[in-house]
């Protein structure tokens, strides 16, 4: 979709810190991370939400989430990893291209909100470094 920022990220028109890609799925670091390692997993084919996304893409995202969560565990040693996915403005979906958040919680990190949090731009050098650690653990 031409005016979708996540489609632009997939096309490389907007830069991103990519950590994983396969035929159906693209994963990259969130630029306003709730925690160190906050990652988004999206379908390459645009779909807005859980009602629109084809089942095959949904399955591929969840298979990828297992690989990425494993890499997060190896790379970051978190207390846990939250998988979070919002559908519709009523629960504060901000980007209308389906995305699964993977949010690791480290020992020093606060509890993780469910549908509302402040978007605070992260330090891009630190995000890049964490992304490289997770990507390396995926290989
Ligand atoms: P939602 O509330 O829709 O589930 O969350 C959208 C997420 O997309 C937010 O965590 C936000 O930080 C992230 N986001 C929005 N724009 C961009 C962008 O241009 N690049 C990246 N990497 N993340 C983005
Ligand atoms: Zn899109």
For CA atoms 39, 36, 133, 63, the dihedral sign is: negative
86 within domain boundaries: yes
Q: Which of 40, 47, 84 is the best mutation target for the ligand 1 pocket, counting ligand atoms within 8 Å of the beta carbon and taking the most?
A: 40
Instruction: Look at residue 42 and tell me if it is in a domain.
Output: yes
Domain assignment present for 12: yes
Could you tell me the CATH number of the domain that includes residue 59? 3.30.428.10
Per-residue pLDDT of the chain (139 residues; tens, 9 = 90+): 889 999 999 999 999 999 999 999 999 999 999 999 999 999 999 999 999 999 999 999 999 999 999 999 999 999 999 999 999 999 999 999 999 999 999 888 899 999 999 999 999 999 999 999 999 999 9
The answer to the question of residue 126 being in a domain is no
Question: Is there a domain that residue 131 lies in?
Answer: no
**Probe residue for ligand 1, chosen from 95, 121, 126 as the CB with the greatest number of ligand atoms within 8 Å:** 95
132 falls within a domain: no
Count structural domains, the chain. Answer: 1
Q: How much is the CA Rg of the chain, to the nearest whole Å?
A: 14
Has 99 been annotated as catalytic?
yes
CB 19 within 8 A of CB 138: yes
Q: Is the CB of 92 under 6 A from ligand 1?
A: yes
Q: Is residue 128, in this structure, part of any structural domain at all?
A: no
36 domain residue, yes or no: yes
Nearest-CA residue for atom 15 of ligand 1: 95
Determine the structural domain holding residue 99 and report its residue range: 5-114
* pLDDT, position 2: 83
The pTM of this model reads 0.98
Q: What's residue 90's pLDDT?
A: 98
């Amino acid at each position: 979709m031409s005016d979708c920022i996540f489609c632009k990220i997939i096309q490389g028109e907007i830069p991103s810190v990519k950590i994983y890609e396969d035929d159906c799925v693209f994963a990259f670091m969130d630029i306003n991370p709730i925690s160190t390692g906050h990652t988004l997993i999206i379908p390459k084919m645009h779909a807005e939400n859980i009602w629109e996304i084809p089942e095959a893409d949904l399955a591929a995202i969840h298979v990828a989430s297992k690989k990425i969560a494993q890499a997060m565990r190896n790379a970051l040693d978190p207390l846990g990893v939250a998988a979070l996915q919002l559908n519709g403005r009523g629960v504060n979906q901000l980007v209308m291209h389906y995305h699964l958040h993977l949010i690791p919680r480290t020992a020093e990190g606060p509890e993780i909100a469910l549908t509302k949090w402040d978007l605070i731009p992260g330090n891009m050098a630190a995000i890049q470094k964490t992304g490289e650690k997770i990507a390396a653990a995926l290989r």
